Amino acid sequence: MSHAVSRLRSVRLAASTKPFLARGSGGGRCAGCRLVASHCVCALRPQVAVRAGVCLIMGDIEALKPSNTGWLIADLVADTFAFGWSRTAVDPALIALLADPQWQPYLVFPGEYVEAQRVVTDLDGQPAPQHKTRVTKRPLFVLLDGTWSEARKMFRKSPYLDALPVLSLHPAQVSRYRLRRSSREDQFCTAEVAALCLAMAGELHAAHTLSAWLDVFSAHYLSARRNLPLDRASEAHQRLLGLAAGV
């Protein structure tokens, strides 16, 4: 299945001057899920109707990493758009997307990094004083997909994002992401952030399904990387199957 992140990956690979070799690539990876063939998850990929959209602005090699979770968002959310980030150039298609009247874009980023009047904490434009709007358009969640240092750089050096309201999330739970190291439990991976946004938009089934899809993918990825047995009857697998069946 081709989606926005897989297409961006193909473009990025075509522009590379040398091959990108992820750890464990020697055994061959599935083109659909980026996992080694023995741990492929394509047969489990969920299908969910989602009204919201997601715009991924991705760091230089994010689309190439097998552990990238923006890919999982694109698996689930049909209206996922993916663009590579550059300090010196911006894709005209990104500018057109942000201006498309069917969408209400929200730049998802911690509110402490911007002036208070730009910050919203729900999709009705509340509370940041002086900022109140009623949303009738489809929400488009703009996510900066990269390491925390890359995301901060993208945030500071992308003037075309300066006019967007900043959606600041304050989740009660800690991150369960296990595929890359982080020194902080309050730093969420991109798929976790997208699930929080979908829940805020009232799309709870999609949010729960994306969370389960991330957990199943993570289990397969770590089983392959650590050469451990894969439990295909795990709680995460059962949860994903139950959501797919409407249980």
Q: What would the pLDDT profile of 116-136 be if each residue is shown by its tens digit?
A: 999 998 887 543 334 444 558
Q: How confident is the model at residue 171 (pLDDT cuts 50, 70, 90)?
A: confident
Query: In the numeric block, which tokens belong to residue 183?
Result: 């020194």
- Report yes or no: 135 and 104 within 8 Å, Cβ to Cβ: yes
**Mean pLDDT in residue range 215-221:** 95
Angstrom distance (rounded) from CA 158 to CA 83: 13
Give the amino acid at 38.
Answer: S
Contacts of 103 (CB under 8 A, 6+ apart): 53, 97, 137, 138, 139, 140
Looking at per-residue pLDDT, the higher value among 26 and 154 belongs to 154
Of 44 and 181, the structure prediction assigns the larger pLDDT to 44
Q: How confident is residue 138, by pLDDT bands cut at 50, 70 and 90? A: very high
Alpha-carbon span 242 to 175, nearest angstrom: 23
pLDDT-based confidence at 188, cuts 50/70/90?
Answer: confident
pLDDT of residue 131: 41
Classify residue 142 by its DSSP letter. E
Question: 10: alpha, beta or left, given left = phi > 0 and alpha = psi -120 to 50?
Answer: alpha
d(CA 190, CA 69): 6
Long-range own/partner contacts, residues 88-97 (CB < 8 A, 24 or more apart): 90/158, 90/160, 94/55, 94/57, 94/160, 95/160, 97/55, 97/140
- Lowest average pLDDT, out of 9-13, 102-106, 111-115, 172-176, goes to 172-176
